[in-house]
Amino acid sequence: MTTIERVILHLDMDAFFAAIEVRENPSLAGKPVIIGHPGKRGVVATCSYEARKFGVHSALPSVVAERRCPQAIWLPGRRKLYSTVSRRIRAILDRFSPTIEPLSIDEAFIDLSGIARDLAGGAEKARQMKQTIETEERLTASVGVAPNKFLAKLASDMEKPDGLVLLPLDALERRVWPLKVERLWGVGPRLAERLHGGGIRIVGDLLRVPKNSLVALVGERSAAHLRSLARGQDRRPVETARKTKSISEERTYVEDLTDPQEIDRALFARAEGVARQLRREGLEGRTVHIKVRNPDFKTWTRAWTLPEATDMSQPIVDAARRLFAERSRLAGGGVRLLGVGVSGLEPTGSGQASLFADPREAKVRKAELAADEVRGRLGRNALTRARLIRGPRRSEQDGD
């Protein structure tokens, strides 16, 4: 039996936010451009390739970036603009295949199996895709073409920016085996450390060491997973509707929040935002999380599982408050970053519990849904509960 080789593309835009800013203001072309806020508390969101030459990269503390590249031009970033561009690029991809799995604001898998006859045909489509994006959006993308997602994603990164890399199985030894094990899907810092302990640093090492010693090092399941990746095998399908695992919202505060009332308002606002997003996506969740970073940079998280899944603000707010109160009694201090999230998601109404058992709850639900609708029509800030407007508000900035 012959299995038909799949043709999978992974497309990732180059220096996405920075490239959009350069496009919008051509006088920035060729210059080191950093998206982020300079100063003690900032981090780099991304930067142009000119800035990367100086050792600047995503997630680098701004103070370090300023030292490495003093002449850089800093821009605060315009998320709405970037999302709009992201949607337009998605629309271009839609012309090439019905099977697209977006991974983030600037990357997606595209399944061309049955559309392109082989990998070379896939590469031709990739070239057209890049050309269309360049013509219509004046932006460059890097694309990897391979028989599966794992290899396609590695390939898109190999010749950035403006890259197009075809990575068939017979190129594994030359192009994949020399890569660090950290590049493998599922290898985080802890697993990497264990592998290093066993003398395994590059992908090729996974097949070089005897199977038994790999099993002894990382266990049967990880060993099998890692070895099949090293052989370039990955059967995951391109999933058009990826299951969302959790929904969360967080903010970093320019000035620490110290007033308990203010902290409470922030908790409330984040919880409401999360509930709204759940409703927008037709999901409800059972486990409420909070994430808090104190002024000393210590970050802690707490979770609480509700008796039943919800997409309403109140139970999420209550849980978030309780979680915060429990820990803050022990820790005290102000708040630099505050996040609320919900996981354990399922489509609305799929739970066992009857949603509208309590008539009061049905009423609250109706009110929240009506509010969503007004917001949808008038914009996000059209409706805000009274408690959010009370008191002076500190400036907030988007968390990453």
Q: Is the peptide bond before 161 cis (omega within 30 degrees of 0)?
A: yes
Q: Which of 5, 23, 54, 58 binds ligand TTP (CB under 6 A)?
A: 58
* Among 8-16, 25-33, 205-213, 221-229, the segment contacting ligand TTP (CB under 6 A): 8-16
For residue 163, what are the CA distances in angstroms to 218, 238, 249, 360?
Answer: 35, 22, 34, 57
Q: Report the amino acid identity of residue 191.
A: L
Q: Which of 7, 8, 12, 164 binds Mg ion (CB under 5 A)?
A: 12
CA 25 to the chain's CA centroid: 27
| Residue 13 binds to Mg ion (criterion: CB under 5 A) | yes
Which lies closer to ligand TTP via its Cβ, residue 107 or residue 262?
107
Site residues (CB under 5 A) for Mg ion, limited to 104-163: 106
How many beta carbons lie within 10 A of that of residue 287, not counting itself? Answer: 16
Q: Which of 38, 61, 121, 161 binds ligand TTP (CB under 6 A)?
A: 161
How many beta carbons lie within 10 A of that of residue 211, not counting itself? Answer: 13
159: annotated active-site residue: no
- Give the long-range contacts of residues 85-94, CB within 8 A, separation 24 or more: 85/20, 85/137, 85/139, 88/136, 88/137, 89/13, 89/133, 89/137, 89/139, 89/141, 92/129, 92/132, 92/133, 92/136, 92/137, 93/11, 93/129
Query: Residue 230 burial by CB count (10 A; 0-12/13-18/19+): exposed, middle or buried?
Result: buried
Structure tokens at 323: 């979680």
| Residue 16 binds to ligand TTP (criterion: CB under 6 A) | yes
**Least Å distance between CB 16 and Mg ion?**
5
Choose the contact partner of 50 out of ligand TTP, Mg ion, none; CB within 5 to 8 A by kind. Answer: none
Which lies closer to Mg ion via its Cβ, residue 16 or residue 96?
16
**CA gap 128, 102 in Å, rounded:** 19
**Least Å distance between CB 154 and Mg ion?**
14
| Residue 12 binds to ligand TTP (criterion: CB under 6 A) | yes
Q: Which of 24, 173, 296, 400 binds ligand TTP (CB under 6 A)?
A: 400
**Least Å distance between CB 12 and ligand TTP?**
5
Q: Give the active site residue among 50, 101, 107, 250.
A: 107
Residue of 236, 248, 238, 239 lying closest to 344 (CA atoms): 248
* Among 6-14, 29-37, 126-134, 201-209, the segment contacting Mg ion (CB under 5 A): 6-14
Which lies closer to ligand TTP via its Cβ, residue 143 or residue 195?
143
* Among 7-15, 84-92, 181-189, 246-254, the segment contacting Mg ion (CB under 5 A): 7-15
| Residue 106 binds to ligand TTP (criterion: CB under 6 A) | yes
Residues that bind ligand TTP (CB under 6 A): 12-17, 45-46, 58-59, 105-107, 160-161, 400
**Residues known to be catalytic:** 107
Residues that bind Mg ion (CB under 5 A): 12-13, 16, 106
